[in-house]
């Protein structure tokens, strides 16, 4: 089972869009068994899959705060499964402030639950909160979505720093890849920033970039992935190609 965290503390860089569509690509095209874990109190991944985030029986908050077995919190879908999220996740940092092994709770819950999936994809919130730290401790590799804009690398040093520090508890932790999102190659700024990312990340930068596409932005409002919403769109093709690159990285 490969566990991937989709993380970048910068907001609105297409973490959720990438988590949802990569998860669906793996499930629908790759025929993999996939669990998506929503780790953001905004619950956008949950909504994107067509679930009502206000009607959830459980979230990861129940696992971390009350020891509910992770397996009991899974919602079963036709193509992939999800652990949903909502505002219940908002207080986790405060509630766990004095718990010594707080960063390890998600990892341990995953280990204890003997999950039977090929991939677990975690959608992180735009912060380096304790929940994101839990994801980074539980993951094998981080995928970082980045928008090629002026402030793209701002804050990345903090994320890389956090990753570096957490290797003491999770020696396997590494950046699996960086994916350029909402890409518009006609802009010289985008080209410049893209070249900067190539310099900074080298072969960690996926060759696939996700083009700006209105279809990708529309799909969640129908509770659908891009593959169900418009499978011949350029966004669907791009996420399919990204999946191929991710699968090619398998050990």
Ligand X SMILES: Nc1ncnc2c1ncn2[C@@H]1O[C@H](COP(=O)(O)OP(=O)(O)OP(=O)(O)O)[C@@H](O)[C@H]1O
Choose among ligand X, Mg ion, none what residue 204 binds, the Cβ cut-off being 5 to 8 Å by kind.
none
Nearest to ligand X of 101, 185 (CB atom):
185
Quote the Cα angle for 10-16-18, to 5°: 100
86 burial (CB, 10 Å; 0-12 / 13-18 / 19+) is buried
CB 12 → ligand X: shortest distance, Å? Answer: 4
Query: Residue 63 corresponds to which tokens in the numbers above?
Result: 């696992």
Q: Which of 16, 86, 129, 225 binds ligand X (CB under 6 A)?
A: 16
Segment 28 to 47, residues that bind Mg ion, using CB under 5 A: 44
Segment 192 to 251, residues that bind ligand X, using CB under 6 A: 210, 212-213, 216-217, 235
Under rule CB under 5 A, how many of the chain's residues touch Mg ion? 3
Nearest to ligand X of 69, 155 (CB atom):
155
Residue window 30-59: x/- pattern of binding to ligand X, with contact defined by CB under 6 A: ----------x-x-x---------------
CB 35 → ligand X: shortest distance, Å? Answer: 18
Q: Measure the CA–CA gap between 129 and 186, rounded to whole angstroms.
A: 35
Q: Is 194 in the site for Mg ion (CB under 5 A)?
A: no
Residue whose C-alpha is closest to residue 178's, from 3, 8, 29, 1: 8
Q: Measure the CA–CA gap between 123 and 73, rounded to whole angstroms.
A: 16
Residues making contact with ligand X (CB under 6 A): 11-17, 40, 42, 44, 126, 181-182, 210, 212-213, 216-217, 235
Residues making contact with Mg ion (CB under 5 A): 15-16, 44
């Amino acid at each position: 089972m490969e566990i991937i965290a989709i993380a970048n503390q910068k907001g609105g860089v297409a973490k959720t869009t990438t988590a949802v569509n990569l998860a669906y690509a793996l499930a629908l095209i790759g025929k993999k068994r996939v669990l998506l874990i929503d780790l953001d109190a905004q619950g956008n991944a949950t909504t994107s899959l067509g679930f009502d985030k206000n009607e959830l029986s459980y979230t990861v908050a129940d696992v971390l705060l009350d020891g509910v077995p992770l397996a009991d919190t899974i919602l079963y879908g036709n193509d992939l499964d999800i652990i949903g999220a909502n505002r219940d996740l908002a207080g986790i940092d405060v509630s766990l402030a004095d718990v010594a092994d707080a960063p390890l709770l998600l990892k341990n819950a995953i280990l204890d639950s003997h999950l039977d999936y090929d991939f677990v994809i975690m959608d992180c919130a735009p912060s380096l909160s304790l929940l994101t730290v839990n994801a980074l401790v539980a993951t094998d590799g981080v995928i970082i979505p980045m928008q090629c804009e002026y402030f793209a690398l701002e804050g990345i040093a903090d994320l890389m720093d956090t990753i570096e520090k957490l290797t003491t508890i999770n020696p396997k932790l590494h950046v699996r890849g960086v994916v350029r999102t909402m890409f518009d190659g006609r802009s010289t700024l985008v080209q410049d920033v893209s070249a900067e990312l190539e310099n900074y990340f080298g072969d960690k930068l996926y060759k696939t970039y996700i083009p700006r596409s209105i279809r990708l932005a529309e799909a969640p409002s129908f509770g659908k992935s891009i593959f169900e919403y418009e499978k011949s769109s350029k966004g669907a093709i791009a996420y399919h190609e990204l999946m191929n690159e991710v699968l090619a990285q398998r050990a």
